[in-house]
Amino acid sequence: MDNVTPIVRFGNTELGNLEIKKVDGNGNPLSGSSFLITPNPKTGIDNLTVVDNGANDNSSTAGTLLVTGCKLNVEYTVHESVTPSGYKTAPNQTITLTSSDVVTLTFTNNLGKIIINKKDAAGNIIHIAGAVFKITPNPYTGTDNLSVTDNVVVNGNYDNSSTLGIVELINVPLNVQYTITETAAPTGYALDTASQQGTITTETPNLTITFNYTNQLGKIIINKKDASGAIIHIAGAVFKITPNPYTGTDNLSVTDNVVVNGNYDNNTTLGIVELINVPLERAIYSGRDGSADGLCALIRPPSKGR
Ligand SMILES: [Ca+2]
Ligand SMILES: [Ca+2]
Ligand SMILES: [Ca+2]
C-alpha cells in the first residue's frame, strides 16, 4: 500500500454543465431557439448568448443547448432570447450549479387554441354531429388548409373536444391570421356561410380564440284559404304533420293558434299555422287537414337571419 495515488481535487476550478431543453406543449424538441445567460457562466460577468446548434452550444442535437465550463455556486438567470417561430416565449428560469453534474432546465413553449362553437338561432350549442370546418392556412403546416370534422380526431391535432358541437384545435401557432369556413352543417341544419377570421397573439387571453357559427333550421307555413284565395280567419283548423318534425317519427297534430312548447303554431294570425325550428332534409313532410294532402321537402330555410 505504498503506491497510493492521491486524488487531488481543485475545488475552485471544478466546473459545471448546464443543459437547456426546448420543447413544445407535447414535449417534442423545438429547434431555432437562443438563450441569454446572466452572468456569463464562463466569466461570471456580463452575459452569454447560446444559439441552438450555433454559438456556445456544445450539443449538436436540435432542441438541446449545452453550456460547458460553467462556474459553480453562481445564480444564473436563463432567458429565452429567441423563440421558435409561432410559439410563445417561455418565462425566465434561474439555476445555481453546485457540481460537475449536468443540470437540465426545460423551457416549454405553449401554443394557442382555436375553439369553434356550433350554435342554433337561440344561442345554444347544437349537439349534433356533422359539422366540418376548413381552416386556412393549415395551422400545422402553415400552408394550404385543414379540414376538421366535429369529433373526428386525427393525429391528436384536430378536434380535441369530445363534445359534439364544439371543435377545439390545440397547439396552434401564434401570429397567423386564420380564416375559418363551415363546409358542412350539423345534420338537419343550414350552413353558416360567413367565413370568420382570427389571430392568436401573446396578448390573447388564455391564448384562445373562440368562434361562434350559427345554424338555422327551417320553417313550415300552412295557409288556410277560401276558394277565392283569401285567408280564412276562423279558428278550428287542425293539421297532422308526418313525420313529427321534432322527433322524425310518428306525426304531430297542430291546431291553429294553439301553442305548445313554442314549437307548434308560432303565428298568432288565425288561418296561418307556422312551425319553426324544423330540421332540413330529415324527411318529406306531409300535411293533412281533411280536404287535401300537401307535400313538402325542406331543403333550405326560406330566409336566413343572423
Ligand atoms: Ca443543439
Ligand atoms: Ca367535438
Ligand atoms: Ca295561427
Give Cβ neighbours of residue 251 (< 8 Å, ≥ 6 apart). 240, 241, 242, 243, 244
Residue 59 CA: which ligand is closest? 1
From ligand 3's centre to the CA of 289, what distance in Å? 14
Domain 16-109 matching CATH 2.60.40.10: the answer reads: yes
Residue 200: the pLDDT is: 94
Confidence of residue 276 (pLDDT cuts 50, 70, 90): confident
Task: Give the ligand whose atoms come closest to the C-alpha of residue 20.
Answer: 1
**pLDDT surpasses 90 at 290:** no
Q: How far apart are CA 32 and CA 85, in angstroms?
A: 8
The pLDDT of residue 153 is 76
Q: What is the CATH number of domain 112-215?
A: 2.60.40.10
3-state secondary structure the chain: CCCCCCCCCCCCCCCEEEEEEEEECCCCECCCCEEEEECCCCCCCCCEEEECCCCCCCCCCCCEEEEEEECCCCEEEEEEEECCCCCCCCCCEEEECCCCCEEEEEEEECCEEEEEEEEECCCCECCCCCCEEEEECCCCCCCCCEEEECCCCCCCCCCCCCCCCEEEEEEECCCCEEEEEEEECCCCCCCCCCCEEEECCCCCHHHEEEEEEEECCEEEEEECECCCCCECCCCCCEEEEECCCCCCCCCEEEECCCCCCCCCCCCCCCCEEEEEEECCCCCEEEEECCCCEEEEECCCCCCCCC
In the reported structure, the alpha carbon of residue 114 is separated from the centroid of ligand 2 by a whole-number distance in angstroms of 12
CATH 2.60.40.10 domain extents, the chain? 16-109, 112-215
Give pTM, 2 decimals: 0.64
77 CA to middle of ligand 1, Å? 19
Computed over every residue of the chain, the mean pLDDT equals 86
Residue 13 or 70, more confident: 70
pLDDT at 46 over 70: yes
d(CA 220, ligand 3 centre) in Å: 12
